[in-house]
Amino acid sequence: MARLLIFLALVFALGLGFAWLADRPGEMVMTFGGYQYQVSLMVAAVAVTALVAAVMIAWWLVKSVWNSPYAVSRYFRVRQRDRGYQALSTGLIAAGSGDGAAARRMSRQAAKLIRSETEPMLQLLDAQASLLEGDHAGARDKFERMLDDPETRLLGLRGLYLEAERLGDRGAARHYAGRAADLAPQLAWASDATLEEKTEQGDWDGALKLVDAQKTTRQIEREAANRRRAVLLTAKAEDLAATDPAAARAAAVEANRLAPDFAPAAVAAARALFKADEVRKGAKILEAAWKAEPHPEIAAAYVHARPGDAVLDRLTRARKLESLRHNNVESSLAVARAALDAHEYAVAREAAEAAIRMQPRESAWLLLADIEEAQTGDQGKVRQYLARAVRAPRDPAWVADGVVSERWAPVSPVTGRLDAFEWRVPVERLGQVIDENDPTILPSLPPARPETDDAVIETPQVTADPAEGAPIGTPAGVPDGDATPAQDPAVALPPHLPDDPGVDPADRTDDQPARFRLF
């Protein structure tokens, strides 16, 4: 548009000039070679203009003829380049759709038309074609060659990272991810893999710096960054609790500030404050977390805030928690446990029965069995409660990627994913505890309830004993008067139990199949 306006302005100026000359008649006399030439001023102006135009046209013709070989060669180069980029585009589309043969054909055609030095995408297409053909070794060689070019270095690192992940070499994968994160911190895949490596090594400070970088580059939202920081700070506080109480206290308090409803952070902060003789401040943190979401670890830390307190003082603290969250199963269980320790059996029984009415789960029946054992010693009722505990729904636990643990951990032991553990009821399936969100069962997962410190302790099982006439008999291998099932969880008994503790298995027919629970 600007050029058109300039051209119109020049034409308008020429028209004004000729009009001005036409209004002012005159003559121009020129003497040359003994001759005198006399013409009007208008004719002279037209002649000069025509001469300039002729010279310009002649120069254009000469220049066009002189540059014609270059123009012809340039035309064919542009045409070849266009064909090459068309082949490259078609090859990338074929590689993305999984057509390995078409990708390789287009890669060869594009390589003939375009130089790989000028177009890095040719190397990508070649490597992708090798992957589709199953030549992973060749693809890795091509990705390694990309590391020499600054333009393709990140692309090569990404390819090598994916190949290492495919081979299961987590060390190599994290090495490539770390190099990529150093070059480009904004890459989410690189920073996430590096974060997993640092958390696995226990480098909590390095992981915190990486989370801050993710937040700065807006890879994750502010809420997600605060959650990750809370998890990392809680893990740091737990590691430093024995060696550096001051640093552990600062990390735990910061974690609780970032995520007030995160039970592990609240418990870590409260315990650190209790060690620093700041019982009131730690109790307030636990009370706020209890109001947000009651958790048995919060109750245990709150009730045992002062190790030297009497059992009645602990019962008073348990009642304080119950007053904060009425009609809650965790509140009732906390009171029942504290009352049992204080030998207030009537209070303990009332609280345990209230918990069963709200949620008849395993721990509530086991607690009621302990209360019955301590109060009356009635083995028949104790075994009846234990039988109901075996068949009752399981208690919530920390679950991550199919692994169940009584203790919280910052990362998953299976995948290394940060903040993978969730407090929920695990799902049972043929002797394994699985993740209900993951339909596949990894064959390498540990048993549902291994006998380790960090695993869920196996619930004692009982068998019917019709000889005594009691609903439920004595555990196998345990003589009368010795350890009861509630006292010895290592007793392993047959898993088949009657639906009704009052029904003898010998009297059961085929129409009354026994319920079972396999751990």
Q: The tokens of 267 are what?
A: 């418990």
Burial of 439 (C-beta count, 10 Å sphere; 0-12/13-18/19+): exposed
Question: Is residue 85 situated within a structural domain?
Answer: yes
Q: The tokens of 299 are what?
A: 């109750």
Res. 491: pLDDT tops 50: no
The answer to whether residues 95 and 103 touch, using CB atoms and an 8 Å cutoff, is: yes
Q: The tokens of 232 are what?
A: 């990392």
* pLDDT for the residue numbered 511: 39
The total number of structural domains in the chain stands at 2
431-452 pLDDT tens trace? 444 444 444 333 333 343 333 3
Cα 19 from Cα 23, distance rounded (Å): 6
* pLDDT for the residue numbered 465: 41
Amino acid at site 15: G
* pLDDT for the residue numbered 260: 92
Question: Is residue 296 situated within a structural domain?
Answer: no
First to last CA, the chain: 81
* pLDDT for the residue numbered 343: 94
Mean pLDDT of all residues in 218-227? 90
Question: Is residue 487 situated within a structural domain?
Answer: yes
What is the DSSP code string of 428-467?
EETTEEE-TT--S--TTPPPSS-SSTTBPPPPP-----TT
Res. 199: pLDDT tops 80: yes
Cα 253 from Cα 232, distance rounded (Å): 12
The answer to whether residues 302 and 286 touch, using CB atoms and an 8 Å cutoff, is: yes
Res. 503: pLDDT tops 50: no
* pLDDT for the residue numbered 420: 93
66-119 pLDDT tens trace? 888 888 888 778 888 888 888 889 988 988 888 889 988 888 888 888 876 678
Res. 320: pLDDT tops 90: yes
Question: Is residue 473 situated within a structural domain?
Answer: yes
Helix and strand totals (H; E) in the chain: 19, 9
Least trusted range by pLDDT, from 22-31, 394-403, 413-422, 495-504: 495-504
Question: Is residue 257 situated within a structural domain?
Answer: no
Confidence category of residue 396, pLDDT binned at 50, 70, 90? very high
pTM for the structure as a whole: 0.64
Cα 305 from Cα 432, distance rounded (Å): 36
169-184 pLDDT tens trace? 888 888 899 899 888 8
Question: Is residue 26 situated within a structural domain?
Answer: yes
Question: Is residue 117 situated within a structural domain?
Answer: no
Cα 384 from Cα 519, distance rounded (Å): 19
Res. 505: pLDDT tops 80: no
Res. 416: pLDDT tops 60: yes
Confidence category of residue 17, pLDDT binned at 50, 70, 90? confident
| 369: nearest Cα among 503, 459, 494, 271 | 459
Mean pLDDT of all residues in 43-64? 86
* pLDDT for the residue numbered 285: 95
Domain end among 70, 88, 104:
104
497-to-64, 322, 351, 477, 500 alpha-carbon distances in Å: 101, 35, 27, 18, 8
Cα 188 from Cα 161, distance rounded (Å): 13
379-393 pLDDT tens trace? 999 999 999 999 999
Cα 202 from Cα 382, distance rounded (Å): 45
Mean pLDDT of all residues in 291-304? 94
Cα 420 from Cα 414, distance rounded (Å): 10
Considering only residues 517 and 350, tell me which one the structure prediction assigns the higher pLDDT: 350
Q: Outline where DSSP puts E strands in 1-114.
A: 27-32, 35-40
Cα 28 from Cα 41, distance rounded (Å): 6
Q: The tokens of 447 are what?
A: 């048993």
Cα 68 from Cα 185, distance rounded (Å): 51
The range of the structural domain enclosing residue 93 comes to 2-104
Considering only residues 236 and 11, tell me which one the structure prediction assigns the higher pLDDT: 236
Q: How far is CA 305 from the centre of its chain?
A: 35
Mean pLDDT of all residues in 58-66? 88
Domain end among 76, 104, 132:
104
Question: Is residue 408 situated within a structural domain?
Answer: yes
At 29 the three-state DSSP class reads strand
Res. 362: pLDDT tops 90: yes
Domain end among 74, 104, 134:
104
* pLDDT for the residue numbered 428: 64
109-161 pLDDT tens trace? 888 888 766 788 888 888 889 888 888 899 999 899 889 888 889 989 999 99
Burial of 73 (C-beta count, 10 Å sphere; 0-12/13-18/19+): exposed
* pLDDT for the residue numbered 493: 33
The phi and psi torsions of 175 (rounded to 5 degrees) equal -65, -50
Cα 451 from Cα 437, distance rounded (Å): 25
Mean pLDDT of all residues in 253-279? 93
The answer to whether residues 418 and 196 touch, using CB atoms and an 8 Å cutoff, is: yes
Which residue matches tokens 């692309």?
155
Cα 161 from Cα 254, distance rounded (Å): 34
* pLDDT for the residue numbered 160: 92
The phi and psi torsions of 214 (rounded to 5 degrees) equal -65, -40
**Over the chain, what is the mean pLDDT?**
80
